[in-house]
Amino acid sequence: MTISLLLLVIFILVALGYTIGRTRAVKRFRSAERERRPHSLPRYYGYLVALYTLIPALVVIVLWGLLESSVLTSMVSRQLPEDIQSLPEGQLKLVINDIKNLAVGNISSSNSDPIRMEAADHFSGLLSKSRWAKGIIAIAAALLGMFFGLRSIAPETRARILVEKAIMIFLIACSSLAILTTVGIVFSVLFESLRFFGKVPFSEFAFGLHWSPQTAIRADQVGSSGSFGAVPIFAGTLLISVIAMLVAVPFGLMSAIYLAEYASPSMRSWAKPLLEILAGIPTVVYGFFAALTMAPMIRGIGESIGLTVASESALAAGLVMGIMIIPFVSSLSDDVITAVPQAMRDGSLGLGATKSETIKKVVIPAALPGIVGGVLLAVSRAIGETMIVVMAAGLAANLTINPLEAVTTVTVQIVTLLTGDQAFDSPKTLAAFALGLMLFVTTLILNIIALRTVRKYREQYE
Amino acid sequence: MNDQRNTTEIVQASIKRRYAKEKRFRLYGLIAIISSLAFLAMLITTITIRGLPAFTQNFIQLDITLDQKTLGLGDEPDISALRKANYNGTIKNSLLAEFPDVTKRKDKKLLYKLVSKGGQYDLQKKVMADPELIGESMTVWLPVGDDVHTYLKGDVDITLPEKKRRFKDIQVGWIDSLQENGQIAKRFNKTFFESGDSREPELAGIRGALFGSMLTLVVTLALSFPVAVAAALYLEEFAPKNRWTDLIEVNINNLAAVPSIVFGLLGLAVFINFFHLPRSAPLVGGLVLSLMTLPTIIISSRAALKSVPPSIRDAALGLGASNLQVVFHHVLPLAMPGILTGTIIGMAQALGETAPLLMIGMVAFIVDVPTAITDPATVLPVQIFQWADLPEKGFVEKTSAAIMVLLAFLIVMNALAVYLRKKFERKW
C-alpha cells in the first residue's frame, strides 16, 4: 500500500467522520428539550469526529515512519551470515546499503552474490509487509478514533471549545516552526563543523593563509593532505562585497533621495517598480550576464589601457552584484527618508537652505540610523550571495586586494566542495559546513544589528 | 546696520554657487536612477538578442529511402528491432545521394554533420508510428546540426582562415546550394519545449526543467501557504506579548535575511543525511524552498491581517462570535487578497532560486521528464546554471532562451500579484 493511497483513504475517512458526526448531531439534538440544548453548533461535532479520526491515524503513520527503517535494518542484518555480521560497523553499513539498493532496484542484480540477493529478497518482503501493516493499523486507528468521536456526541460535550483548542495548538505549532528552522540550521552546520574542527584545528582554519581542499582518496598518495587556511576566502568575500557596496550604496542612496525628495508622483509611480524589477531578477541570470558579458567587457577595457585582467576578475562579479543590490538599498532608504517628519524639512527650508542642503544637513542625518541598518542588511546579502560569484568569480583562493585578479568567496567554496563526489565525512565536505557556519554567524550578527537599528529608528519618529 | 548688509552680501555672493550645487545634486540622483534602469535595459536586451535564435530551428529537406538493408531489418521486424534500426545510415545515404561528388572520407564526415543527431530520432518516431513506411521513399525535413545552425544565424566569420573555424568552406558550399534549391527552412523550435536535457545543444530542451520547477513549486506552495497563514494568524491575532512570541518574531525576521545557501546546507544535513529522503527530488527541493519562503509569506500575511480594521472584529465579537470564529469567518477572508499577493511573490522568489537546490543535488544531468515528486529532477534556474557552464556555442543561446522563459514566468506571476492587489485593494 503506497503512502499516497493510504493518505487518500484516511482523507476519505476523515470526510466521512465529519459528515456522520454532523448529521448525527443534527438528528440527536433536534428533538432535545430546551434545557438540554447542545453546547455547540452541529458542524463543530462533525469537526470533532473528523479530528478524532485524523489524529490517531497520523500518529501511527509518523511513528511508523520514524521506526520502520531501523527495525527493518536490524531484522535483515540478524538474518545475515556470521562472517558478514562480524564485519566492522562501516563495512556492515555498506553491505546493508547494497542490500537496500538491490531491493529497491536501484542497482542491477546481475553481478551480486547470492547472499546479498537473498537478503535483498528478504528485505523487500519485509518492506512490503511493513507497508501493509502500517496501512491496516493506521486505518484501524482512524476507525477506532471515529468510533470514540461518535460516542462523544452529547449535548454536554463542548465540541467548539475542543475544536478551537486543537486549531490553536496547530497555529502555535506552525509559528514555532520558525524557531525550529533556526535550531535546525544551527545544529546541522554546528555538528558537521565540530567534526571538521576535530580533524583540522580551528587556529589553522581561522588564520591559515593557504587554502587547497583537494584531499587525496588514498592516504599514501602524494600531496594528500589538503590545507584549510580560510583567510584567502574571507579576504576574497570581503573584496567582492566591498566592490558591490561601492556600487550599491551611492547609486541606491541617490536613487532613493531623488525618488523621495525630487521626483514627481507620476515618475515615482513608474520608476520605483522598474527599479524593483532589478531585485526580482533571479541571481542565476545576473551570474550568466556577469560571466558572459561583463567579464569580457571589463577585460577588454582593461587590456586596451594596458592592464592585465583575469577572466574571472573580482571586479566583474562585484559590479554585477552591486547592481543587484541597488534596489535593496534604495527601497530601504526610501522608506526611511519618507519617514522623516515634514516639519524638520520645513524648518530647514524656512531658514533659507536649498533643498539639497536640507537633504544633506537635515534629512540624511536624521535618517542615518535607518540607512545604516539598510546598508548592513545589504552587506549581509552581498556576503551570502551565491550564484553570481559561483558563475563569475574564480575558484582559486588568491590572497589579494587587486580587484582585477580572480578571488574566491565563502559561498563559491561551499558550492564547489559539496557538488563534487566525495564521501560525506571527508574533511573536504565537512569544510563546507565550517564555512557555512562562518557565513551563518556573520550574516546573523549583521542582521541582528541592522534590524535593531532600523527598529529603534522607527520608534524614534512614530 | 553694516553687519547686516554684509550678511546679505555674503548670501548674495554665494547663492549662485549654492544653486549650482543644488542642480548638481539633483542631477546625481537622476543619473543614479537612469544608469540603474539603463543596466536593466542592457541586461534584458543582451539576453533577448542572444536567446531569440533558439526559438527557431533550421531544417533540411531530404529524400530518404527507408530500405531494409540499410536499416538492418529483417522481413518482419518487431518493435525492439524497429527501435534499434540504423536510421542514421539512411540519412547518410540520402546526403550522399544529394551530393554525389563527395568521395573523400574526411569530406563525408563533414557532410554527415549537416544533419543533427536528432534527425534519426525523428525518423525512428515516424517509422515506429507507421511500419508500412519501410521500403518506401519519402521527403522529410530534418533538423540541421549545431554548426550549420550557427552558420545560418550568421555567427560564423567565413573570412577567417579555414583552419581556425569548425565550419569548413566545403560545408558552406553545400549549405548555399541547398539554400538555393529551397531545401532549407526556418521553423519554430518545438524541440526546445518538448524535450529534456541533452549534451547536444540542438536537442536540448527545457521540458524536464519546467516540470521539475512545477513539481517543486507545488510542494513549496502546499507546505508553506497553510503553515505561513497559520503562523501569521497566531502572531497577529492571538499571540500574547511574551518572551516566546518575541523570540518567534526575531527568528522570523532573521530567517528572512539568512543567505539562501544556508537553507541548502540545512536541507542536505537534515532532509537527506538524517531523514534519508531521495536526493535531487522535487520533494526535498520543495521542503527547502518552503522553509526559505515562509518568512516572506508570514511577514506579508501579517501586514494584510493588520490592515483589517478592528471595528470588524468588534462587531463580530459583539454578535457573539468566538475569537476563532471572528478570525476565520471575517478577518481572514478580508485579508486573503493581501495574503495571496504575498504568497505569489514568495513563489516567484522560490521559482528563481538556485543555490539551495545545488546543495541537495538537483544538479545531476537528467534527461527524463519527472512525473512524481520523488523522481530525480532539475529546475529551470539550475538548468540555466548547468547550460551556462557548457563550452558548446549552441548552449549560449539555449541558456539565454531558458532565461527568457524563466523571466516570462516571473513577469506573469508578479503581474498577477499586482493585479490582485489593485483589484481587491480596499480603503477602510
CB contacts, 8 Å: A176 with chain B: 248
pLDDT averaged over chain B? 86
Question: Domain residue spans in chain A?
Answer: 3-157, 227-461
Does the distance separating the beta carbons of B235 and A419 come in below 8 Å? no
Whether A364 contacts chain B with CB within 8 A: no
Max avg pLDDT among A221-225, A233-237, A429-433? A233-237
Q: For residue A224, is pLDDT > 60?
A: no
Does the distance separating the beta carbons of A418 and B22 come in below 8 Å? no
Percent of chain A surpassing pLDDT 70: 92
Q: Which of B237, B241, B251 to mutate to test the interface with A (most CBs of A within 10 A)?
A: B251
Does the distance separating the beta carbons of B259 and A383 come in below 8 Å? yes
Q: Of A293 and B119, which is predicted with more confidence? A: A293
The type of residue at A152 is: S
pLDDT at A404: 86
**Could you give the residue ranges of the DSSP H alpha helices within B234-272?**
243-255, 260-266
Q: For residue B162, is pLDDT > 80?
A: no
pLDDT at B3: 59
Percent of chain A surpassing pLDDT 90: 40
pLDDT at B32: 94
Name the pLDDT band for A104 (thresholds 50, 70, 90).
low
Does the distance separating the beta carbons of A254 and B31 come in below 8 Å? yes
Does the distance separating the beta carbons of B32 and A171 come in below 8 Å? no
> How confident is the model over B1-17, as a mean pLDDT?
77
Residues composing chain A: 462
CA distance B348 to chain A (A): 8
Contact B273, B320 (CB under 8 A): no
Contacts of B7 (CB under 8 A, 6+ apart): none
Among A214-228, B31-45, B183-197, the least confident range: A214-228
Q: Which CATH architecture has domain A227-461?
A: Orthogonal Bundle (1.10)
Q: Which of B22, B25, B217, B359 to mutate to test the interface with A (most CBs of A within 10 A)?
A: B25
> How confident is the model over A380-409, as a mean pLDDT?
88
d(CA B189, CA A151): 64
Whether A225 contacts chain B with CB within 8 A: no
pLDDT at B161: 77
Does the distance separating the beta carbons of B410 and A278 come in below 8 Å? no
**pLDDT tens for residues B389-426?**
887 777 888 899 999 999 999 999 999 988 888 888 77
Q: Of B318 and A210, which is predicted with more confidence? A: B318
Name the pLDDT band for B2 (thresholds 50, 70, 90).
low
**pLDDT tens for residues B349-381?**
999 999 999 988 888 788 888 888 888 889 999
- pTM equals 0.86
Helix orientation angle between A159-199 and A427-461, rounded to the nearest 10 degrees:
130
Q: For residue A29, is pLDDT > 90?
A: no
What is the rounded radius of gyration, in angstroms, for the C-alpha atoms of chain B?
31
d(CA B282, CA B379): 9
pLDDT at A245: 96
The type of residue at B70 is: T
Q: Which three cell numbers stand for residue B168?
A: 569548413
What is the rounded radius of gyration, in angstroms, for the C-alpha atoms of chain A?
32
Q: Of B144 and A51, which is predicted with more confidence? A: A51
At B184, phi and psi to the nearest 5?
-125, 130
Report DSSP state, residue B428.
Answer: -
Whether A258 contacts chain B with CB within 8 A: yes
Whether A283 contacts chain B with CB within 8 A: yes
Percent of chain B surpassing pLDDT 90: 40
pLDDT at B67: 79
pLDDT at A110: 55
Chain B residue whose CA is closest to A257: B29
Does the distance separating the beta carbons of B37 and A178 come in below 8 Å? no
Contacts of A369 (CB under 8 A, 6+ apart): A453, A454, A456, A457, A460
Q: Of A98 and B144, which is predicted with more confidence? A: B144
Closest partner residue to B234 (CB to CB) among A171, A254, A293 is A171
> How confident is the model over A181-209, as a mean pLDDT?
88
Q: Which three cell numbers stand for residue A416?
A: 564547489
Strands of B137-143's sheet in order across: B137-143, B56-65, B184-188
**DSSP three-state, residue B64:** strand
Q: Of B26 and B428, which is predicted with more confidence? A: B26
Closest partner residue to B40 (CB to CB) among A185, A278, A387 is A278
pLDDT averaged over chain A? 85
d(CA A84, CA A72): 17
CB contacts, 8 Å: A319 with chain B: none
Q: Which of A68, A375, A387, A421 to mutate to test the interface with B (most CBs of B within 10 A)?
A: A387
Whether A189 contacts chain B with CB within 8 A: yes
pLDDT at B355: 92
**pLDDT tens for residues B249-300?**
888 988 988 999 999 999 998 888 888 888 888 999 999 999 999 999 999 9
pLDDT at A111: 58
pLDDT at A79: 75
Q: In whole angstroms, how far apart are CA B121 and each of A308, B86, B114, B118?
A: 48, 10, 15, 5
**pLDDT tens for residues B345-356?**
999 999 999 999
Q: For residue A75, is pLDDT > 70?
A: yes
Per DSSP, chain B holds a count of helices (H) and strands (E) of: 19, 3
**Could you give the residue ranges of the DSSP H alpha helices within A200-341?**
202-207, 231-257, 265-280, 283-289, 295-304, 314-338
> What proportions of chain B, in percent to the nearest 5, are helix, strand and coil?
70, 5, 25
Q: For residue B122, is pLDDT > 90?
A: no
Q: In whole angstroms, how far apart are CA B100 and each of B97, B108, B167?
A: 5, 10, 20
Name the pLDDT band for A225 (thresholds 50, 70, 90).
low
Does the distance separating the beta carbons of A191 and B230 come in below 8 Å? no
pLDDT at A215: 57
Whether A100 contacts chain B with CB within 8 A: no
Q: Which of B215, B225, B266 to mutate to test the interface with A (most CBs of A within 10 A)?
A: B266
Max avg pLDDT among A18-22, A458-462, B59-63? A18-22
Q: For residue A31, is pLDDT > 80?
A: no
Chain B residue whose CA is closest to A376: B257
Q: Which residues of B109-129 are buried (b: 16+ CB within 10 A; e: fewer)?
A: ebbebbbbbbbbebbbeebee
CA distance A268 to chain B (A): 11
Does the distance separating the beta carbons of A414 and B238 come in below 8 Å? no
* Alpha carbon of residue A81 to chain centroid: 44
pLDDT at B408: 94
> How confident is the model over A348-355, as a mean pLDDT?
92
The type of residue at A97 is: N
CA distance B329 to chain A (A): 13
Q: For residue A217, is pLDDT > 70?
A: no
Q: For residue B20, is pLDDT > 90?
A: yes
Report DSSP state, residue A36.
Answer: G
d(CA A235, CA A397): 9
Does the distance separating the beta carbons of A391 and B266 come in below 8 Å? no
At A80, phi and psi to the nearest 5?
-70, 155
pLDDT at A107: 59
Name the pLDDT band for A420 (thresholds 50, 70, 90).
low
pLDDT at A423: 60
**pLDDT tens for residues B312-325?**
999 999 999 999 99
Q: For residue B5, is pLDDT > 80?
A: no
